């Protein structure tokens, strides 16, 4: 008797995983007592669930041989699987006959099976394998998916990589990928739009692939897309001091502008200032700066700015200067910042006493004009007082405006002159009796009580001296015209 085993327990039935060939080990054993001439034949199996296998090529490495008693011969059956083989169960039977058996009854048959699963595989080709795109701009590429499996299936287009968010499917992200005898294709459009999270000129690689549902992307079903990032542009500007306060007239103060590149590449930027009011001056240390990418350490630059206040600026004046950062070629500003400038209050007081000596009759009043000039830049309150006089008892005194209104304090606008009067009552009895009076004029809003000039008078005060004289004399005049007797 001849006994042959087709394959061992682990390969009598095999699953196809895309191999071009699969081998089955067949052992033919002579169980008789004499040498046998063995012939092998191969046929399609017809067992339950077996599909027609005419599309496969199956060969035995030998089909006849002599086999001694109780000897074993190993025969290899090779199945060639064509690309795109349909899924199903395929069966073959190997039959061994003994040619020198006079009874023609020494034979045996064994089956081996190939299971071809449903294969959902694809390959991807790109219309462009590399693109250069500016941040926030976009370009379109097309990915073509070819079905290299053996059935129709739904492919889902995916993008993998650290910057996968830069690439999005334009439209539906999945669709039927037909088999079409191995010629089935489907195309998807992708929009590529990078951001500026990396420096200009940097390259990023993403994989565009296809998935069957949520299964991992097969290595054969993806393609690399190289994205070179262009340059984004933008900048911000800030000022070290939002306010330059209390600048004295005819002097200046400085501060610093900081320009920061918001783009992802080296850039040249222009710095500009709004026009200052007449008499004022603003000067930039430089009007252009060069800065590196915002992702580097040289993304900022500083520019000094100096503001000069005119000599006649009032303390009530306040201006705003707007500084801008723009592209080097001009155009719309990327950013602006406002600098507010205020003027310091400067106090200055001078007096003018054009008539320091006055004569009057007893019981009358004499008026000494005093010119008060506010040489500062702020409205000040001026106080006047008689601090001494030589008459004893003292003669009556008061102060009046040009309108005759009495006062002790008066407000004077900056850089203006007001005339007031010291009024003295002539109270003496004897001819030529007099009183020397000293008047102090004090700027009550000026806190500077020092005496830097050493004249004995605080710097926020001025002093005037006046002489009032009593005279009750009557003066007459005789005027005659020649050749007449008429006296006038």
Determine the distance from the C-alpha atom of residue 70 to the mean position of all C-alpha atoms in its chain, rounded to a whole number. 87
Residue 220 has pLDDT above 90, yes or no: no
When pLDDT is averaged across residues 317-331 and rounded to a whole number, the result is 96
The pTM score is 0.73
User: Does 488 map to a domain?
Assistant: no
Residue 486 has pLDDT above 60, yes or no: no
pLDDT of residue 218: 79
Single out the residue in 91, 116, 141 at which a domain terminates.
Answer: 116
User: Does 475 map to a domain?
Assistant: no
The total of structural domains in the chain comes to 4
The CA distances from residue 472 to 362, 422, 426, 428, 463, in Å, are 7, 21, 11, 10, 30
When pLDDT is averaged across residues 123-144 and rounded to a whole number, the result is 97
- In tens, the pLDDT along 297-311 reads 999 999 999 999 999
The token pair at 464 is 């005037």
Q: Strand order of the sheet with strand 203-211?
A: 130-133, 222-229, 203-211, 153-160, 174-177
355 and 338 share a domain? no
Residue 162 has pLDDT above 90, yes or no: yes
Residue 44 has pLDDT above 50, yes or no: yes
Single out the residue in 343, 375, 410 at which a domain terminates.
Answer: 343
User: Does 486 map to a domain?
Assistant: no
205 and 291 share a domain? no
- The enclosing domain of 381 has a CATH number of 2.60.40.10
6 and 103 share a domain? yes
Check: CB of residue 320 under 8 Å from CB of residue 341: yes
When pLDDT is averaged across residues 321-343 and rounded to a whole number, the result is 97
Q: Label residue 100 by pLDDT band (50, 70, 90).
A: confident
364 and 433 share a domain? yes
327 and 364 share a domain? no
Q: What is the phi/psi pair of residue 415, to 5°?
A: 60, 35
Residue 286 has pLDDT above 80, yes or no: yes
Residue 153 has pLDDT above 80, yes or no: yes
Residue-range definition of the domain harbouring residue 187: 122-229
Closest CA to 368 of 425, 411, 427: 425
Cβ contacts of 377 within 8 Å, gap of 6 or more: 249, 312, 313, 314, 315, 343, 345, 346, 414, 415
CB atoms within 10 A of CB 482: 4
Q: Label residue 3 by pLDDT band (50, 70, 90).
A: very low
User: Average model confidence (pLDDT) for the chain?
Assistant: 92
Check: CB of residue 38 under 8 Å from CB of residue 132: no
User: Of 108 and 259, which is predicted with more confidence?
Assistant: 259
112 and 156 share a domain? no
pLDDT of residue 431: 83
The CA distances from residue 410 to 274, 388, 420, 486, in Å, are 40, 21, 9, 54
321 and 356 share a domain? no
User: Does 133 map to a domain?
Assistant: yes
Q: What percent of the chain has pLDDT over 70?
A: 94
């Amino acid at each position: 008797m001849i006994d042959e085993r087709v394959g061992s327990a682990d390969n009598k039935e095999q699953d196809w995983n895309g191999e071009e060939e699969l081998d089955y080990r067949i052992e033919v054993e002579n169980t008789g007592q004499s040498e046998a001439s063995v012939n092998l034949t191969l046929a399609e199996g017809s067992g339950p669930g077996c599909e027609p296998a005419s599309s496969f090529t199956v060969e035995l490495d030998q089909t006849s041989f002599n086999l001694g008693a109780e000897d074993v011969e190993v025969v290899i059956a090779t199945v060639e699987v064509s690309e795109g083989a349909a899924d199903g169960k395929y069966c073959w039977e190997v039959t061994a006959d003994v040619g020198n058996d006079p009874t023609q009854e020494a034979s045996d048959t064994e089956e081996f099976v190939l299971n071809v699963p449903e294969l959902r595989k694809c390959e991807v080709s790109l219309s462009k394998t590399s693109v250069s795109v500016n941040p926030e701009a976009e370009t379109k590429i097309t990915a073509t998916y070819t079905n290299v499996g053996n059935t129709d299936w739904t492919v889902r287009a995916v993008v993998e990589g650290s910057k996968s968010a830069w690439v999005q499917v334009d439209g539906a992200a999945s669709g039927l990928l037909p088999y079409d005898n191995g010629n089935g294709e489907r195309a998807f459009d992708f929009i590529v739009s990078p951001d500026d999270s990396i420096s200009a000129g940097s390259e990023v690689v993403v994989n565009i692939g296809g998935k069957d549902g949520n299964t991992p992307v097969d290595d054969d079903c993806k393609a690399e897309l190289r994205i070179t990032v262009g340059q984004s542009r933008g900048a911000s500007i800030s000022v070290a001091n939002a306010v330059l306060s209390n600048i004295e007239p005819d002097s200046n103060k400085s501060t610093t502008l900081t320009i920061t590149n918001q783009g992802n590449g080296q850039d040249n930027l222009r710095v500009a200032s709004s026009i200052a009011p007449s008499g004022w001056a603003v000067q930039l240390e430089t009007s252009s700066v060069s800065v590196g990418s915002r992702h580097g350490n040289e993304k900022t630059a500083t520019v000094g700015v100096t503001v000069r206040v005119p000599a006649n600026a009032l303390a009530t004046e306040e201006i705003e200067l707007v500084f801008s950062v723009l592209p080097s070629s001009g155009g719309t500003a990327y950013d602006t910042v406002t600098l507010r400038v205020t003027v310091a209050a400067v106090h200055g007081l001078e007096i003018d006493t054009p008539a320091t000596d006055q004569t009057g009759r007893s019981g009358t009043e004499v008026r000494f004009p005093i010119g008060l000039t506010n040489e500062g830049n702020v409205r000040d309150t001026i106080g006047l007082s008689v601090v001494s006089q030589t008459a004893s008892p003292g003669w009556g005194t008061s102060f009046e405006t040009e309108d005759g209104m009495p006062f002790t304090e008066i407000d004077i606008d900056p850089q203006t002159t007001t005339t007031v009067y010291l009024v003295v009552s002539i109270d003496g009895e004897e001819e030529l009796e007099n009183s020397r009076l000293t008047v102090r004029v004090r700027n009550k809003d000026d806190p500077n009580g020092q005496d830097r000039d050493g004249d004995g008078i605080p710097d926020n005060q001025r002093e005037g001296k006046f002489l009032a004289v009593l005279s009750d004399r009557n003066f007459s005049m005789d005027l005659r015209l020649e050749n007449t007797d008429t006296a006038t």
